[in-house]
Structure formats: structure tokens, C-alpha cells
Structure 1
Amino acid sequence: MRDDILEVLTKPTVDVVLAGRVLGIGKAAAYRAREAGDIPSIKIGGKFRVPTSKLREMLALPATQALAATAD
């Protein structure tokens, strides 16, 4: 789970399954939530990706700039 959170904090997008894991739901539930619009997503090259900025907002996680400032 720690690696999943690190990806959310450092990458611009993640896949739907990883987004679901950090939200505490399974693969099928994550795809249903994406289809319902509960997990925001964009389609890139035929695949759905979840913008981590939106995911961080949903989880009340710090923005990457805040994370970088605390790493110094």
C-alpha cells in the first residue's frame, strides 16, 4: 500500500485498479466507480487513467509540491 500511495503522490496519473486500491475497493468496484463518474478518469491511448491530482483531493493528500518541500 505504501508504494501505491507513493505513486499517487509522485505520478501524474495511475491506472483504475491502483486508484481503487488506495480508495480501499476492489478491481470490479473501481471500474464501476469510474463508469459512474465517482472516480474521475481520462482516456489516453485507449486506456483509462486517473489523474492523481483529483485522487489526492479525494483522499485529502498533499499536493506534490507540498511533498517535495517536506522532503528537504
Structure 2
Amino acid sequence: MEKRKHHKSTLERVKAVRVITEQHYEAGNNSRCYKSVWRNYVYPAYKICYRTYLNYLGIPTTRPKEDPRQLSLFD
């Protein structure tokens, strides 16, 4: 499957949504599940649907590690 590139603003929004999720999500607690976090905290702030919210949780926000075999110009 091909990886997509995302705009900087989308990646910033993904990071913000993940911070909200980390603050309020608890595994195994139905009153603090992903759906509840989306309904009470994410949707009022960002107006994204639940499916988009789940997609945001799957988007990597860190840069991939550099290949050690890649040569560098400034070392």
C-alpha cells in the first residue's frame, strides 16, 4: 500500500488530536473510549467525523529514520 504525504497543517492537526486523545483515553473504560473522546473533546474543537478521527490516529507524525547507508554532505 502506498504511503501518502500530508500537508503540514494536517500533520499539526493530527498532533493536536493525538494530544487530546492521550489526555482523555483510557483502555478498557467505556466512558473514556475513543468514541467518547471524539464526541466530547475532538468533535467540538475540530468538527471532524469519527472515521477521520480514527484515520488521524493511524497517521505517523514522526519522520522516518534515516538510512545509515545514505551518504551525508555535511558530516
Q: Structures share a fold, TM > 0.5?
A: no
Higher relative contact order (CA 8 A, sep 6+): 1
Taking structure 2 as the reference length, the TM-score comes to: 0.28
Q: Which of 1 and 2 has greater Rg?
A: 2
Higher strand fraction (1 or 2) = 1
